[in-house]
Homo-oligomer: A and B are copies of this chain.
Amino acid sequence: MKIARFLTEEWMNDYERQAKYNLTDTSCESLTMQDLLKLDPHALDDVTLDYGWITGLSELRNEILSMYQNQDEKTLALTHGALQANELAMNLVLNPGDHVITIKPGYQQFSDYPRFLGCTATEIELNPSDWSLSMDTLAKAILPETRMILFANPSNPTGTWLDRTQLEQLVDLCKEQGIWILLDEVYRNPLYPDQEAAISDLYDKGISTSSLSKIYGCAGLRFGWMKACPELIARVHSMRDYMLISTGPLVEQMAFVVLQNRQSIIENVQKVVAENKAILNKWLESTPYFKLNMPEKGTVSFLQLPEGTGSTKFAVDLLEKTGIFFVPGSTFGMDGYVRLGLAKKHDDLASILQRLDKFTQQWLEKNGKEDAQK
């Protein structure tokens, strides 16, 4: 079977190595194995490389469960990253001919993987003035054959975020028809589970997926999980026998170290995000070229280019001339933007932004768009 090329990932693969200033990464500063071994110097003393407990280390499972209101052991399955958790959820819930609803701009896995499975997908455009999701538009998009609504919350690349009240509205829309809601919650801050609700805590057909890749800075562990009703989780465990067997004792042990220390790890990230946001907000007041809806949550945002600017050519030229690296909005099916990450440490973000402005001025002059300011 054929699947569409994953444009964002391909762009990252093709160009990321040339980046001198990576302003587009969605993860926070990555931790190293040495960082983790400092947190627990004995973590690897007793790790045997067999399959381990097939459903995963029980201490690790308990740490994950503690980040949700529903802590039923039967509601959790471990996976290789949130991506695999999403894949499993879609594989097990969707049938050919089903209809799904996702948001645009959004993560391509949520539109093209359902299509790969023989479903149709409606992509609801977010309101570009504040990247909000209109519940009315969403309600109107529901068809009799709609089986799943799925997106990331907070979302990539816009930072769009539904709070508990909005999630409850969403559940109300889905309940009668029994529509599943799959939310990728990799950007959710789990330190305050009451404030940032998980969909699996609000709805029996709510599926929460997450991982250590974004706000924990441990993408390299390739570790994630799914929280959902016991019936779906039992089916995930059956399917895991065909797809992965287990996530393995090495990764599980290191994931346990990360989650045990999540308070300090996440607080460090929040500090970096706050510092970056302060610098960016100051720059946004002065830049004649760029506009941004600064998101309240998450570690990503979607930076608006001067009107009429083709994001692909702009991003390629910018990288070549300055080493500043962005994923263009075109890879999200929405030109005129680039994805701006908020959680990376930079030596001097303010001066990188000055270089960005200077390049943009010259680029617009050269490309005959002198007047294409914001």
Contact = CB atoms under 8 A, between A and B. Distances in A.
Contacts of A9: 54, 241, 245
A315 interface: no
Contacts of A50: 27, 30, 219-220
A222 B219 CA distance: 16
Contacts of A220: 47-52, 248-250
B49 A239 contact: no
A208 interface: no
Interface in A238-264: 238-239, 241-251, 254
Number of copies: 2
A10 to B, nearest CB: 7
Given A242-B83, A251-B222, A49 B10 contact: no
A47 B30 contact: no
A10 B241 contact: yes
Nearest to A117: B1
B244 A6 contact: no
B244 A84 contact: yes
Interface stretch (A31-39, A178-186, A266-274, A296-304): A31-39
Nearest to A219: B51
A262 to B, nearest CB: 15
Contacts of A10: 238, 241
Contacts of A217: 49
Given A13-B54, A54-B13, A49 B37 contact: no
Contacts of A242: 3, 6, 83, 87, 108-109, 112-113, 116
- Nearest 4 interchain pairs by C-beta: A49-B220, A6-B241, A9-B241, A222-B248
5 contacts: A3-B239, A10-B241, A34-B45, A220-B249, A250-B251
